[in-house]
Structures are given as structure tokens and as C-alpha cells.
Structure 1
Amino acid sequence: MMISRERKEWIYKTMNRIRCFELKAQSLFEQNKLRGSVHLYVGQEAIAATVCSLLRDDDYITSTHRGHGHCIAKGATLDKAMAELMGKATGYCKGRGGSMHIADFTKGNLGANAIVGGGIPIATGAALAAKLRGSDQVAVSFFGDGASNQGTFHESLNLASVWKLPAIYICENNYYAISVPVTQSTSVEDISVRGTAYSMPGFTVDGNDVSDIYEVVEQAIKRAREGKGPSLIECKTYRYLGHWLGDPQPYRSRDEIEFWKQNKDPIKRMREFMLECGEFTSEELDQIEQAAAKEAEDAAEFALNSPDPDPATLLEDVFYEEEQ
């Protein structure tokens, strides 16, 4: 798979920005400086970074409760994202959305969603809107293995196929829906085979391998832009941390977690791939990693120093007021 040097660099930068952001969010949470709980994307960074590297600003995404990575990959700045997690007025949603509801319409990010499977029909609707307008925009829905068993998944794929919508459904199968192993909740070994029931291509890829993801997503986007309809892509991956911070994780072993960290880490694998390509030096990749770490630290400082929302603005943005 031929990926340009510039795109490899963008993907690697984005993966590191996501990882550093999430680890900093974990640290702030443990210091009791975040509002509410957070669900972190550590270990799954290759998916959001690779998929969004192939999208335009006017393409759409919908996200999940584990959505920081998608938001960042679709163009969110770390400072405003961190401010949103901390409930600050300088956040993307003025501190009112928090971790699970970040949105930025200027970048096509229609929002994270705390409802399991809630983003799937929203992306389907965005794809329908794009088709009705006659544009070549695409809509991508990110969701987990648990959401593939929701009615919204099946209803959306059915209509997307009937109407040949420019939708791409990305299932991030990290093997656990909260604490339930996918083998105990899902009737098929590969979720991608469900695409067959709705007359659309279904692919299962290594969700921790940038090249594997890139090739299939590029094909799906091309198909969607050409009016040939939707695709279902299952990315098998793994989250290193609990379902939420504080999750005791009795449902899996430390050995299992360490195996993924040591053998399948997406950032480590991407770094090795970039060095093997001969287009990057270790020093260049070190600089990318250091820049991402600094950006996350700066984002935390920005958020910590940002004001809380003014109570007087409580009802702003709640009701639509038509301009006279």
C-alpha cells in the first residue's frame, strides 16, 4: 500500500497527539480536575488517525462515548478539547458537553454520543443529506462491537444500502462491550460479515495496522464518492485501559493487556513501519513524539487557566431564537 510521506507523517503525528492527550486526561482525572468520568482511546489510535487522514473537512463523522481520538483526528485542537473535558467556557461546547459530547461542525464532527449506537443513524442522515444535495461528501460512523448488536446499526445499514448512501460504518471491535467479551454477545466471529445481509461490502482489518486500515478505507471512500453506496469495515483493536477510568477490570487478565501493549501497540508498529520505509529518521520521529507531549501539556495548562462558564449564560444555546 503506497501512502505518501506527508500522509504517513500526519497519521503518526495524530496518533501521538491522541495518545498524549488521553494520558494527560488520565492524569488530570486522577487529580480530580476533570468533570465526570472519561472513556479513553489509548491503544486504538491507528483507526481514527488513518480514517480521518483520508477525509476532507466537509466530510462528516459521528463518534462515541470513547470519542476524543475521533475528535482530534477530525481537526480538534487539544486545548479546546481539554477545556471541554474540564467543563470550561473555552471548550468546544462551552463546557456543557464534556467528554462524551464534543462536536465541531466546522470540521464535520457531528458529535460524540453517550448512547451506544446513537451516532450510527446520525451519520446515515448526514449521508442522505449529502446525496440529496448532490455533493460528493461522505459520512463516517465510528462505533464499537457492542453497538453492532443495536437496532440502530441494522436499521441504518439497511436504509443506507436501499438508498445507496455515501456512508462508511467503522466498527472498532476492541473485544469488550464494557465488560462483556464479544464472543459472549455477538453471533458472528467477524462483525463485517453482517454487511452481506445488507448488500454492501464488509471488511475485517487489523485495527492496529495503519497500512491495513488505509487500503480498505481508501476503497470505501472512493466507492461512496462515486455513488456506489455504503461499506462496513471492522477494525479489530484493543483498549489498554478500562471501559472508564476507575473500572476494576475483573473480566480480563493483566497478561492479556500486556500482550497487546508489547506486541501490537499501534504507535510502536507505525514507528517501525516509517523507519523501515527509509523516509524518516529516529530523530524526526522523536521530535514528533516530543511535540505531541508538549502540546498535551500546553492544552492542560490552557484548560486549567480557563474560566468556568458564567451561570448567567445557562439558557444560552438551549432554545433556538429566530433572528428578526
Structure 2
Amino acid sequence: MKKMLTAAVSRVLSGVTQKPASRVLAASCKYSNNATFEIKKCDLYRLEEGPPVTTVLTREDGLKYYKMMQTVRRMELKADQLYKQKFIRGFCHLCDGQEACCVGLEAGINPTDHVITSYRAHGFSYTRGLTVRSILAELTGRRGGCAKGKGGSMHMYAKNFYGGNGIVGAQGPLGAAYNMAALWNLPCIFICENNRYGMGTSLERAAANTDYYKRGNFIPGLRVDGMDILCVREATKFAADYCRSGKGPILMELLTYRYHGHSMSDPGISYRTREEIQSVRSKSDPIMLLKDKMVNNKLASVEELKEIDVEVRKEIDDAAQFAMTDPEPPLEELGHHIYSSNPPFDIRGANQWIKFQSIS
């Protein structure tokens, strides 16, 4: 029986033919079922061997990964828009640019494994099974949100997913602190999503040792190309197998990049240039990299992927409409769902004559 893990992370046609475009496409497309790709070798710490440097991508998985990453990207862009329109209030940390991390992680573990994240959790919420509608509705504080509109951006939960945590680093001890994981030889993968910047400064200006995959000290580590979903997937599979085999915890550093600022109060351009962000977008964007792999190896066509884009945008727009119109939770439910099994109790509000009853 496998042990469960805890992760603390346009065509241009020329010629004289007048055939309709759809017929030309149907006649010219013959897809491959799979293709083999080289992936970047991971840096290793206290490990004799690491993940493979080649992997096979099937057409089915490629299409699934592409749609999931596009959904996370479009969902975050819509959240940015809703925030600026004041439908979303409070804290909001977006993960666009980091899609290969959450989708690649999910591709490398089992649905029965447990995931605990920090506050930049929208992408993980989606890959763990929550719908875009429930995520956006939670961001806008509506009854149909995944935490019934009372959690917001940093507190989302699903089966085997113990949502974001507002306290920086809280997911570590909630999962299992480094020392305890090593002492008890726990099957735990610690993940550092290294997006290169904190709130206002780069990692080089903030840390004397930027090799975060070595920060476990007595825990083995991997440094992974977090912009390549295939690299993340294979590294996660390797780490999961390592833990399941009884070797104890392991640490993964995913080198990635966020396009937005740290939070909505951070424009993200005071400590880095617009040119740097654009350079990453043009050279290392995770969605673009997967798209190029699939098209160049006949796993999909540009037109087919554009159809997915249209489908995703419609899903996001429909979810956003729901998130703007769904009712807010009623005031009398303010004290609901505080505890899962304790007996009900009364909470006195600001007005001493108003009481809120708690239920499980």
C-alpha cells in the first residue's frame, strides 16, 4: 500500500485552392500519440542520482496540461481585473507565470496525496480539484465560494488540500517541520517555489546563500527548472518515489517567475525592469514552451490549441459573472463552520443584543 505524501508547493495559406479552411486542416493533420523530450538536468544535493533527463509526453496528457495551465493563467488575469474593479477586496497574491509548478506537481503525485501551500494558492486550488467558479466566487466573498465566501484569497480548501496560509511559512510546521520530518523519516516533500523576488527585493539582495535546495541541511534536495512542466513532473515523480520507498523527506526548489507583483499592492516594477519581465515571457513562458513542444512534435496543431484557448476564456468569463452576481453569505452565518465537531455555542457581536450561533 502506497504511503501518502504531504507537500508543504494563424495559419497563412497560399495557393490557388479554394477549399474551406476546416477541410484543409482535417486533411493535413495527423497527430502523433506521443513524443520523447530532453529535459534539463536537476542540480542535486546529498543525492547520488536524480530525475531522468528524458521523458515521454503523450498527446492526451499534453492537451490536458495545456488546458490546465491556460485556465490558471486566465483565472489569475481575471482575478487581477476583478480586484481593480473592486469586486475583490483584501489580500490577493497571483501566480501567473508559475503555472508549470502547480500543474506539474499534480501530474507527479496521486489524488490521495496531501498538499499544503502558502498564500499564493489559486493555481494549486484549481489543480487539486476546485472549480474556477468556486475559486473566483471565494475571491469576491460570495456564498458559492469554496470556503463559502469567508476565506478569500489565502484560505481555500479542497479534498486532501489544506489551502493557503496567511502567515508566511505557516505551511511548513502545519505539514511537518524539517527537523521532525527528518527525525521521524516522514514521507514529506518540501517545496520552495523560487520566483526570484520577495516583496520588494531580489533573492540575490536578500540571501547570502541562494541555493535553497540545500537549505534542508540534512535533508536531500533538488533544484528544478520550474518553467518546464515536464521537468517539474519528472522531478515530482522522483521525489514521491523517494519518499514512498521509506528514505524520508526531500526538498525541491522550483526555479520559476511571477509576472505580477508580490501582491496587488506591489506594482512589481520598482525592483525589476519591464524589459526583464518581457524577456521571461518571450523566452521561458511555461505555456509557450509546452505549446512549442506539442506543435513541433505533431502532438497538436496551433488551431487546436486556439480552440482550447477560446473554451478556457468562456469558462473564465462565465465563472467571473457568477462571482460578481452570487449573493454574499448572510450575516447570521458569520459564526458557522469554525469547528468541525465541537458542540454549538453563541458568539456575541459588536452589538451585545446580537448573537451568532456556531454550527459544524
Task: Kindly indicate whether residue 83 of structure 2 is the aligned counterpart of residue 29 of structure 1.
Answer: yes
Partner of 2:253: helix, strand, or coil?
strand
Q: Report whether the alignment pairs 1:228 with 2:273.
A: no
1:319 to 1:189, Cα distance in 2 relative to 1, 3 A: closer
- Which of 310, 317, 323 matches 1:303? 323
- Aligned-residue RMSD, C-alpha: 1.6
Measured against aligned partners, the alpha-carbon deviations of 1:134-177 in whole angstroms (never above 9, x if no partner) come to xxxxxxxxxxxxxxxxxxxxxx2222122111111111111111
Q: Residue 239 of structure 1 aligns to which amino acid in structure 2?
A: R
1:1-324 → structure 2 map (5 Å cutoff): 1-104=55-158, 106=159, 108-124=160-176, 156-195=177-216, 197-198=217-218, 200-249=219-268, 250-322=270-342
Please tell me the residue identity of whatever aligns with 1:262: S
More helix by share: 1
- C-alpha separation in 2, matches of 1:321 and 1:212: 42
Work out the CA distance in 1 between the residues paired with 2:66 and 2:175.
26
Judging changes above 3 Å, is the alpha-carbon distance between structure 1 residues 203 and 321 closer, same or farther for their aligned structure 2 residues? closer
Pick closer, same or farther for the CA change 1:189–1:315 going to 2, 3 Å.
closer
SS at match of 2:62: helix
CA contact (8 A) 1:37 1:244 kept: yes
Distance apart, 1:101 and its partner CA: 0.7
> C-alpha deviations, 1:9-59, integer Å up to 9, x for none?
222111111001000111111111112231110111111011012222221
Q: Deviations over 1:177-218 (max 9, x none)?
A: 1112111222323211223x22x3211111101122122111
Q: What TM-score comes out, normalization by structure 2 length?
A: 0.77
User: Any conservation in 2 of the 1:10–1:53 contact (CA below 8 Å)?
Assistant: no
Q: Percent identity?
A: 36
Greater Cα radius of gyration, structure 1 or 2: 2
By how many angstroms is 1:323 displaced? Answer: 6.8
Number of the residue aligned with 1:148: none
CA contact (8 A) 2:143 2:326 kept: yes
For 1:7, what is the secondary structure of its paired residue? helix
Q: Quickly say closer, same or farther: Cα 1:277–1:164, change in 2 above 3 A.
A: farther
User: Which runs of 5 or more structure 2 residues have no equivalent in the other structure?
Assistant: 1-54, 345-360
Aligned with 2:193: secondary structure? Answer: strand
Q: Deviations over 1:274-310 (max 9, x none)?
A: 1123221222211222221111111111111211110
The amino acid across from 1:221 in the alignment is A
Q: Which moved more, 1:277-286 or 1:263-272?
A: 277-286
- Of stretches 240-249 and 314-323 in structure 1, the one that deviates more from structure 2 is 314-323
User: Structure 1 residues 73-82 or 1-10, which shifts more?
Assistant: 1-10
Letter in 1 for 2:101: I
The corresponding residue for 2:40 is none
Tell me, which stretches of 5 or more residues in structure 1 are unaligned? 125-155
| TM-superposition CA deviations, 1:80-124 (whole Å, max 9, x none) | 1111000001111111100111111x2x11111111111112222
How far apart are 1:8 and its partner, in Å?
2.2
CA distance in 1, matches of 2:279, 2:293: 20
TM-score, scaled to structure 1: 0.85
When residues 49 and 321 of structure 1 are mapped into structure 2, their CA distance, relative to the original with a 3 A threshold, is closer
Take 1:233 and 1:16, find their aligned partners in 2: how far apart are those partners? 24
Q: CA shift at 1:3, angstroms? A: 3.0
8 Å Cα contact 1:53-1:73 kept in structure 2: no
